[in-house]
Amino acid sequence: YFAYDYHQDKRRKEVESKRLKELDRVKNNMYTNITHEFRTPLTLILGYIEELNNKMEDEAERGLLNNIGENSQRLLKMVNDILELSKLEGSKVTLHLEQDDLVVYLRYLIDRFQPLAQNNHIDLSFISHDHHVVMDFDRERLGSIIINLISNAIRAVGLDGRITVELRKQQRSSEPHACIVVRDNGIGIPKEDLPLIFQKYYQVETDKMVPGTTGIGLALVYDLVSLMQGSISVESDDQGTIFTILLPMTNDAPTVQYEDDLVDRSPVVEVGDRSLILLIEDNKDLAKFIKRVLSRSYDVIYAVNGADGLSLAQERLPDLIVSDVMMPDIDGYQVCQQLKNDLKTDHIPVILLTAKAGQENKNYAISLGADAYIIKPFSQDELLLRIHQLIEIRNKLAEKFGGGLMEVMSSNKMDKQSIFIRRVVGCINEHMEDADFGVSQLAQKLSLSESQLYRKIKSLSGKSTAIFIRSVRLEKAKVMLEGGDVGVSEVAYATGFNDPSWFSRAFKKEFGIVPSLVTQGDDD
């Protein structure tokens, strides 16, 4: 009898286990199907919102549309979390590991939250104890973890709160780990709830309940960290919360190649009709996006960090530079400062892209010489408009320098462009009678390469170096002829022309009149 009862009980448990597994499978399939069905209309809603936003002029209506967009984005995030969680429970998630710099990636993720944080007067900061932490990780899954934790922290702290994301290396069981800490000074979590917060759909029962929480995000975070063979813990004393993530550090995955499809391989000395823009951006995805936008109207070359950007700027002398601010080692502020303090590059307009929206940050950038300061997130139109404006200003400056050299020489303006042009003209004047003084000699005098001098002169005057030298000689010749008592041939030789006939043709091309009609004492 006892043996029979034992076997019956065992069979009931097996049947119940199978039934529960089948229910889990059906439930997960239902979640997957429902969330997939939600994603399509949400994607369309967001697409139409963006399209309408570009056409709508009324600010009040645009504000309402933006509210719809923000709530649609929130709903889309919840849908994505449910979908990801159902995949994890169904063991359908595979990590796609790449070897990359965790410092750069975390800074990029945090930058995305800066506008939201600043709008709510929240101090959101990132601290890394190392310049670089190169390791294997899944960008998408790690992004989900960090985004969930920061989103929860922003809701918890409210106005005038403080959130810190900290990264450091740590040994655990004699193995290297990356330790990511997300700390806030928000409402905190009661001690009795701490062991339960990573359970799916669990919500803290408190009169300080944070609106907008579903109990899904932290369960997803826990499962993703576990999938990465890591661990997550939480501390809270009813005031402030600290989440600590430990991820094992390995370096076995393929290294991310930032520059493969971004580096411009066009000839160095070739100068086309389109303006050349240097993009300095350490985030691969953002760099691809910006390059795609700019490439419709401009030639674009790319650098993955500040050091490479400075080197490329000196080598190519682009017409304009777009640089991110938050970069490891040499940041955008330092890039701008070095460019503006270098004779080779001080004329190049610089646009800085940043998530730091404070007026003091903008003032600091301007004090370093930045020509424009654009806050993330920015629209394509805003970036393209600022680039167009700066290049137009540069073109007008070129017309002024190219068409009125004597005016520039007599001007007391102390801007760097005017000072440089006066220096160039001064060098040419010192060798006015030397017909052999040309491009190479001028470049040597200015401590520039011929290609660097060409791009700088071209940018400032619209003329090649050789044509600019000739224009300076002809301006001098015109002044001498207008003074009278000097012949055309004498003036030609005095201004570095060995052939008076060639001088006359060049003079007419420059001023629209033959030199003999200018002089009062023609010797021809």
Contact 247, 226 (CB under 8 A): no
Helices (H), 182-242: 217-227
CA separation for the pair 274, 268 (Å, rounded): 14
Q: Are strands 162-172 and 123-128 parallel, antiparallel or unpaired?
A: parallel
Supply the DSSP string of 1-29, one letter for each residue. Answer: -HHHHHHHHHHHHHHHHHHHHHHHHHHHH
| Amino acid in the structure at residue 292 | R
Q: Which domains, ranges and CATH numbers included, belong to the chain?
A: 2-89 (1.10.287.130), 98-248 (3.30.565.10), 276-396 (3.40.50.2300), 404-517 (1.10.10.60)
pLDDT of residue 244: 97
| Amino acid in the structure at residue 497 | F
CA separation for the pair 467, 458 (Å, rounded): 10
pLDDT of residue 6: 61
Q: How many CB atoms lie within 10 A of CB 90?
A: 15
Task: Please give the DSSP secondary-structure letter assigned to residue 255.
Answer: B
Which tokens go with 93?
């998630």
Distances (CA, A) of 79 to 48, 67, 204, 491: 19, 18, 21, 81
- Burial environment of residue 319 by CB neighbours within 10 A (0 to 12, 13 to 18, 19 or more): buried
Distances (CA, A) of 494 to 205, 470, 512, 522: 93, 13, 21, 15
HSE-up of residue 170 (Cα within 13 Å, Cβ side): 16
Contact 243, 233 (CB under 8 A): yes
**Longest alpha-carbon distance in the chain:** 138
0.75 surpassed by pTM: no
CA separation for the pair 248, 176 (Å, rounded): 6
Task: Please give the DSSP secondary-structure letter assigned to residue 371.
Answer: S
HSE-up of residue 37 (Cα within 13 Å, Cβ side): 6
pLDDT of residue 519: 63
pLDDT of residue 264: 42
> How many helical (H) and strand (E) elements, i.e. helices and strands, does the chain have?
17, 12
Cα 30–33–36 angle (5° rounding)?
A: 145
CA separation for the pair 339, 351 (Å, rounded): 12
375: enclosing H helix or E strand: strand 372-375
Each residue's pLDDT expressed in tens, for the chain with a length of 524 residues: 556 566 667 777 777 777 666 666 655 565 555 655 565 566 557 656 766 777 777 777 777 777 777 777 767 766 777 666 666 666 666 788 989 899 988 988 887 787 778 777 888 999 999 888 999 999 888 998 998 899 889 888 877 789 999 999 999 888 999 999 999 998 888 888 888 888 865 655 544 444 444 456 788 899 899 999 999 999 987 788 999 999 999 999 887 654 444 444 333 333 345 789 999 998 877 788 788 889 888 989 999 999 999 999 988 888 899 999 888 889 999 999 999 888 778 888 999 988 665 567 788 888 888 989 887 766 777 888 889 988 887 777 666 665 555 555 555 665 677 788 888 888 988 888 888 888 888 888 888 887 778 878 877 777 778 888 888 888 888 888 887 777 888 888 889 888 888 888 888 888 888 888 876 544 44
Q: At what angle do helices 450-461 and 465-482 cross, to 10 degrees?
A: 60
- Tokens 């020509």 sit on residue: 371
pLDDT of residue 263: 42
Provide the sign of the torsion angle of the four alpha carbons 9, 14, 20, 22, taken in this order: negative
Nearest by Cα to 361 from 327, 333, 339, 335: 333
Which tokens go with 16?
């119940």
| Amino acid in the structure at residue 418 | S
Backbone φ, ψ for residue 407 (5° rounding) = -65, -40
CA separation for the pair 280, 332 (Å, rounded): 8
Q: At what angle do helices 380-403 and 416-430 cross, to 10 degrees?
A: 30
Distances (CA, A) of 459 to 277, 339, 393: 12, 15, 11
Supply the DSSP string of 163-196, one letter for each residue. Answer: EEEEEEEEEETTEEEEEEEEEE-SS---GGGGGG
Residues 489-515: b if buried by 16+ CB within 10 A, e if exposed: bbbbbebbbeebeebbebbeebeeeeb
CA dihedral 38, 40, 41, 42 (to 10 degrees): 70
- CA 93, distance to chain mean position in Å, is 31
Nearest by Cα to 352 from 381, 389, 327, 319: 327
Contact 264, 302 (CB under 8 A): yes
| Amino acid in the structure at residue 305 | N
